[in-house]
Amino acid sequence: MLKFDIAKKSGLARAGVIHTPHGDIKTPAFVGAATKATVKALTMKEMKELGSQAILANTYHLLLAPGTELIKEAGGLAKFASWDGPTFTDSGGFQIFSLPDVKITENGAKFKSIINGDKFEMTPESSMQAQWNIGADIHMAFDQLAKSENYDDMKDAMERTHRWLDRCIAEHERLKNDNEEQYLYAVVQGGIFNDLRAESAKYCASKNVDGFGIGGVFVVDGMDEMLQTVCPILPEDKPRHLLGMGQEPIDLFVGAENGCDTFDCVAPTRMARNGSLYTLDGRINIKNAKYKNDFTPLMPECDCECCKNYTRAYLHHLFKTDEITAKVLASIHNEHFVVSVVDKIRESILDDTFDEYKKTFLLRYYK
């Protein structure tokens, strides 16, 4: 069983430590999205230096390239990517949601390769096998994230996710080896319907898993209420990962406040590549003409490599001339921004100043 120590609780919120075979994660923590075993535009050294504690890769993408057997041969994801720290893998369930032409059957989901168009099927069993090959510390159960706002469709997807969870657990147990430690999170679904969310949380809570992912969240309007439904049902002594949330700082506050321990999101690095950068006063588009002559740091209060050494005018120039360094510096900043926001949330839980920090931060950011 994955070891998770809670150091401090405050309402539903908690600060703790997840002990993985590749190291500890002090929670709440923001996990970097390393979909194809790399955080886009950043080296693992830069990820360490900006304060990232863990990364999350994607099973579907690594299955297509370079293949999960190769990652196993390389010694596992962390070694392959030269990441000295904890790792997660997402199951490929999100691709059911995001890719076109996905066919879902009871057995699994039929995908088309985005690389060469080859058709293949991913099942709960094959996702587990792939994740064991990849060798991340924490695996996600193969789930179905549905698009629908129709209750019956959502219920179908949730129930299938539950049946798939049982198959994931069985396959995970079968693949367990006494010499290896890899852990499985069940994923709570239910979309925008709180009664389904509650049902899914109860189902997942009843299973012998190491933690929980909460999925399909960004389709929800009012995450607060949904988390207040789900988290109290989940066992307190196991970690919870809020899948895919973190573009908006408020999501990190609301997530942590309601008992989520880890987060991942592609938005900070994607937005960085597109020139949308976080500051304490909200996001700015550094490509805008008004930054051409702005010789101040992107965010004076920030201690990342980008903000300590470069000006907005310089970043503006790098973006306008389409220099690779623009994306590197912007990614360092945005990733550092969300990582440090969550780190400060942790500190504020530990010293009982969460409410104050949340209020001050959000008031300024969304003024």
Partner RNA sequence: GCUGGAAUCGUCUAGUGGCAAUGACAAGAGACUGUAAAUCUCUCGCCUUCGGGCUUCGUAGGUUCGAGUCCUACUUCCAGCA
Among 116, 289, 300, 367, binds RNA (CB under 7 A): 289
Rule CB under 7 A: is residue 61 a binding residue for RNA?
A: yes
**Annotated catalytic residue: which of 90, 143, 251, 261?**
90
Among 82, 98, 105, 309, binds RNA (CB under 7 A): 98
Q: How many CB atoms lie within 10 A of CB 20?
A: 23
**CA of 87: how far to CAs of 82, 138, 256, 302, in Å?**
11, 7, 20, 26
Sign of CA dihedral 88, 92, 94, 99: positive
Stretch that binds RNA, among 2-10, 226-234, 274-282, 340-348 (CB under 7 A): 274-282
Q: What minimum distance in Å lies between the beta carbon of 107 and RNA? A: 18
Task: Give dist(CA 351, CA 140) in Å, integer.
Answer: 32
**Annotated catalytic residue: which of 137, 210, 261, 264?**
264
Residue in 325, 250, 339 with CA at minimum distance from that of residue 286: 325
Structure-token pair, residue 315 = 């970043």
Give the DSSP letter string of 295-354.
-SBS-TT--SHHHHH-BHHHHHHHHHTT-HHHHHHHHHHHHHHHHHHHHHHHHHHHTT-H
Q: Which residues contact 75 (CB under 8 A, 6 or more apart)?
A: 135
Q: Pick the closer one to RNA by CB: 27 or 247.
A: 247
Q: How many CB atoms lie within 10 A of CB 82?
A: 11
> Tokens 């069985």 label which residue?
170
Task: Give dist(CA 45, CA 340) in Å, integer.
Answer: 17
Instruction: For residue 269, give the 3-state DSSP assignment.
Output: helix
Stretch that binds RNA, among 76-84, 200-208, 264-272, 355-363 (CB under 7 A): 264-272
Rule CB under 7 A: is residue 103 a binding residue for RNA?
A: no
* String of contacts with RNA for each residue 298-327, x by CB under 7 A: ----------------------x-x-x--x
Rule CB under 7 A: is residue 91 a binding residue for RNA?
A: yes
Residues touching RNA, count (CB under 7 A): 56
Q: What minimum distance in Å lies between the beta carbon of 236 and RNA? A: 22
Active site residue 90: yes
Q: Pick the closer one to RNA by CB: 100 or 300.
A: 100
Sign of CA dihedral 171, 177, 178, 182: negative
Q: Pick the closer one to RNA by CB: 323 or 356.
A: 323
Rule CB under 7 A: is residue 217 a binding residue for RNA?
A: yes
Rule CB under 7 A: is residue 230 a binding residue for RNA?
A: no
Rule CB under 7 A: is residue 265 a binding residue for RNA?
A: yes
Among 43, 274, 325, 353, binds RNA (CB under 7 A): 274
Task: Report which residue type is found at 284.
Answer: I
Among 68, 133, 262, 269, binds RNA (CB under 7 A): 269
Residues that bind RNA (CB under 7 A): 33, 35, 39-41, 56, 58, 61, 90-91, 93-95, 97-100, 114, 140, 143, 145, 187, 189, 213, 215-218, 243-248, 251, 264-267, 269-271, 273-276, 285, 287-290, 292, 320, 322, 324, 327
Task: Please identify every residue annotated as catalytic.
Answer: 90, 264
